[in-house]
Chain A
């Protein structure tokens, strides 16, 4: 396992609950306690009401297909074993998005296709989300 595959949380002190949630097979999102706006990817400030606070909400993982791509070229040796891989840009029910591998029949992919979130344990430290047809 290359270190490249580990999350590069260079500066983020905002994201540990997200990664911990994935390890527990839960999709957790930041939500602003001031105005209720979801913010993802995690960050320190709500752009709508400028509240620094965040509550972490476990969400259902219901989503739909926004767009997708099939990766054919790895760009780095660490990813050679992963390709070809279909990656979907999915819009969660909460309005924010998830970019994750699609583990289903890619011939069925179409905009608006209903999805659910699953979890893949990559290592003891890292669990990543994946997407399945609902």
Chain B
């Protein structure tokens, strides 16, 4: 039995995104959850499934007691770092299509004042135990430092250049400036990009995503449960998760360039029954510019090693053949662990994305990228 076209994303919600917030992580999660429930046209009591983001310290029980949920029949977590929200969509799709429950609430919330900084996350996430023992003593533990050798090798093998990374940062910033509710509001030029300070060569400041406070949430419903709700039905056409070789240490990966999405993407396209040329818009997990470039290759929009030329062609701009990160992404809107990417894709497919709306978008794609290379992808469609 395929999951394809059995589940739908029926509700979306977001708070204001900012560097800091006076509100607790729980409060933020509840605000985004209520927004998503109202957006769907549901009552809170109709939520019967919960997949809270594993890294935020808010558990299903917190949501039950605050939202007054007395009929929860399914709860889970999908602890894959930045691949978690899309993995949760996959998990929720399985739950609603099997009849375990009808409406799954998936919230993500962060508040930098009470945790979530990079140096703290290392200790909170068991998938980093190997890095913490063997690479932290060398001074390498932050994602920028862990991913830099992958990007360097890509540059050495394929001639990828800083200007290619810059194109991703610049086009994403352009979208954030148009869009609103983005932390970054000033345009970025190539000169700005090249002048920004090095963090871990080849990553400059503008290759790195933001640190943010706020919350975002979506609701995944059974297709039957979605039909009488408020919005056009945005169906999950295909979804997949993949793990690279050596998912606890990039250093030990036989092929340093490989990511989990290399395995997941063909499965998601096969499940959806669509091809890359059917994708009207894509929201690509952008913790770093390079990670976007590599995912575009893994998804099959270009061949391995061709990501630089692909983005240099203007393909990822709003008017290009594959507009990406139309909300400004983690690089320029906010780092909501990619839940903001799912929210944005649903907006695009509903036709409610405002100044960055891709005209006639009917099929779109969203990815997640977890810490040391775990990959998730969901292909959504308005049918």
Contacts and interface: CB of A to CB of B under 8 A. Distances in A.
A125 to B, nearest CB: 11
A83 B139 contact: yes
B112 to A, nearest CB: 14
A121 B140 CA distance: 18
Interface string B357-373: 00000000000000000
Interface residues of A, number: 40
B140 A71 contact: yes
Interface string A28-61: 0000000000001100000000000000000000
B200 A111 contact: no
A39 to B, nearest CB: 9
A41 B130 contact: yes
B210 interface: no
B140 A99 contact: yes
A72 B149 CA distance: 14
A126 B137 contact: yes
A6 B248 CA distance: 19
A96 B198 CA distance: 29
Contacts of A41: 130, 133-134, 248-249, 252
A11 to B, nearest CB: 6
Given A6-B137, A41-B133, A41-B249, A72 B156 contact: no
Contacts of B248: 41
23 contacts: A7-B136, A10-B133, A40-B252, A41-B133, A41-B134, A41-B248, A41-B252, A66-B149, A67-B149, A67-B150, A69-B145, A69-B152, A73-B142, A74-B139, A75-B141, A76-B119, A76-B141, A82-B139, A87-B138, A97-B251, A97-B252, A99-B140, A122-B137
B129 to A, nearest CB: 6
B200 A71 contact: yes
Given A73-B200, A76-B119, A85 B139 contact: yes
Contacts of A4: 136
A67 B152 contact: yes
Contact of B200 (A6, A66, A70): A70
Contacts of B256: 66-67, 89
Contacts of A40: 252
B132 interface: yes
Contacts, number: 105
A79 B153 CA distance: 25
Interface in B193-229: 197-202
Contact of A7 (B133, B152, B200): B133
A24 to B, nearest CB: 17
Name the residue among B119, B137, B202, B248 with the largest chain A CB count within 10 angstroms: B137
Given A67-B149, A75-B141, A76-B119, 9 more contacts: A67-B256, A70-B201, A72-B201, A73-B199, A75-B119, A76-B141, A87-B145, A122-B137, A126-B137
B59 to A, nearest CB: 22
Nearest to B254: A95
A15 interface: yes
Interface string A89-126: 10000001111110000000011000000000010001
B149 to A, nearest CB: 4
